[in-house]
Amino acid sequence: MQQFNTRYKPLGKHLVLLLCFLSPLAFAETPEPKKPASLPLEELRAFTEVLDRIKQSYVEPVSDSDLLESAITGMLSELDPHSAYLKPQAFKSLQMNTTGEFGGLGIEVGMENGLVKIISPIDDTPAHKAGVNAGDLIIKLDETPVKGLSLSDAVKKMRGKPGTKIVLTIIRKNTPEPLEIVVTRAIIKVKSVRHKTLEEGFGYLRISQFQIHTGKDLASAVNKLKEENGKLKGLVLDLRNNPGGVLQAAVDVSNTFLNEGLVVYTQGRLEGSEIKYSATPETLVKDTPLVVLVNGGSASASEIVAGALQDHKRALIIGTQTFGKGSVQTILPLPNDRAIKLTTARYYTPNGRTIQAQGIMPDITVDPAKLTTVEQPHMYKESDLEGHLENENGKKSEYKQKNGAKDVKELLARDYQLNEALNILKGISLIKSL
């Protein structure tokens, strides 16, 4: 399901809304349109001719208003996958989604070759629990083929009363047959930040999406890790399958680890679209070694954070190439409760790299994998020999496992990328201590 979290800011008689989700938006006061120099008369003649032919010859009567709205819809959909014409219900749904609580499946979606593509399932939502994966392509919603539906129509079909079920027919890479996954709709409440200690001194921070309070929640999580571990030797920041969120939250998260410099900037043709966001000296974690985990489901705000930390050489980025969502959409209200969602700017990292359709390349590529432990024959040690000399320091006390240590061990065993991130982080910490 499409989701939109927002940051509102007064600007004249309108509201500015900045976000950087899969479909980042900005409500902005638009400048007075410039008078066009000329109109393409031949194309206008062709348009009116087609309009007249449809009205006269189509198998069923079609009203002028429906034809014109369809023309507007097609005009915007041809620009890029994120520009769209929003009819009253779609506009209302978008505004409703800015509250951060919504009913649905818990997935971030886009369009690819006429099919709905799963950008990422959101943590602990019905889709995530049902086994929907980033990169899956939905070909049917219940019995309705997706081909021919607009993204907003597909999203509308995925929404419904909490507790009701929907069957997603998907095709998945390296899976020969389509899969049918039953998902039960629910009210989606997303916890933005989670944390845990992986090993003594090494903390894990998971951001599932960027919400208004993510910066504060992250600071709270870091402080709790400090209380649990004392001095932190290293941190893993997990942004995998994070589709983005509020732009200011991305800046706040970057600011947690940076004490100066540019975080991100935007450039576009619309007046006021060239904006720079910088870090401030109020940095919570200035020198602690940091590894950031990303993958193909890391989009927009996630890419802004990864790109900023990479450009400032503040963190090592590992995983796989990110999604590449580096554009800003502006909501331009129209009469009769309608609006257009129009791409108006691009995001750039501090070093001027474009994110759009390119994403962030990790410093170290680590593909998802499963580790299989090879059983070793029993090896005798000195302590097994009869009459061996005792250690002069005496028998060392057993390390007392903290609560949750077993869960962490199981997590590392099934998450190869996280396990590698921890190993790399321990290496960085060791070198730094020399």
| Closest of 365, 341, 347 to residue 299, by C-alpha | 347
Intra-chain end-to-end CA distance of the chain, in Å: 49
β-pairing, 245-246 vs 327-334, is: unpaired
Output the pLDDT for position 375: 84
DSSP string, 393-404: T-PPPPPPPPTT
Give catalytic residues, as residue numbers.
Answer: 300, 311, 325
Residue written as tokens 């070759």? Answer: 113
Cα atoms in the 13 Å half-sphere on the side-chain side of 313 = 0
Q: Which structural domain range is residue 135 located in?
A: 102-189
Say which DSSP state 311 is in: H
- Judge whether 128 lies within some domain: yes
CATH number at residue 121: 2.30.42.10
β-pairing, 202-207 vs 193-199, is: antiparallel
**Grouped pLDDT means (10 residues each) for the chain, 434 residues:** 34 32 45 64 93 95 94 93 88 62 79 88 90 94 92 86 94 94 89 93 95 93 95 96 89 97 94 91 93 96 97 98 92 91 94 96 95 83 86 59 73 93 94 84
CA distance 321 to 319: 7
412 to each of 140, 201, 369, 406, 416, how far by Cα in Å? Answer: 35, 16, 12, 10, 7
Output the pLDDT for position 54: 96
- Judge whether 178 lies within some domain: yes
- Give the three-state DSSP class for 201: coil
Output the pLDDT for position 394: 66
β-pairing, 338-348 vs 84-86, is: antiparallel
Cβ contacts of 8 within 8 Å, gap of 6 or more: 15, 16, 17, 27
Output the pLDDT for position 367: 96
Q: What is the largest CA-CA distance in the chain?
A: 104
- Judge whether 124 lies within some domain: yes
DSSP H or E stretch at residue 370: none
Cβ contacts of 99 within 8 Å, gap of 6 or more: none
Where does 98-179 have alpha helices with state H? 126-130, 151-158
Count up the domains in the chain and report the number: 1
β-pairing, 25-27 vs 165-171, is: unpaired
- Judge whether 174 lies within some domain: yes
- Judge whether 225 lies within some domain: no
Output the pLDDT for position 3: 37
Cβ contacts of 372 within 8 Å, gap of 6 or more: none
Output the pLDDT for position 257: 98
- Judge whether 29 lies within some domain: no
- Judge whether 127 lies within some domain: yes
Cβ contacts of 324 within 8 Å, gap of 6 or more: 299, 303, 355, 356, 357, 358, 359
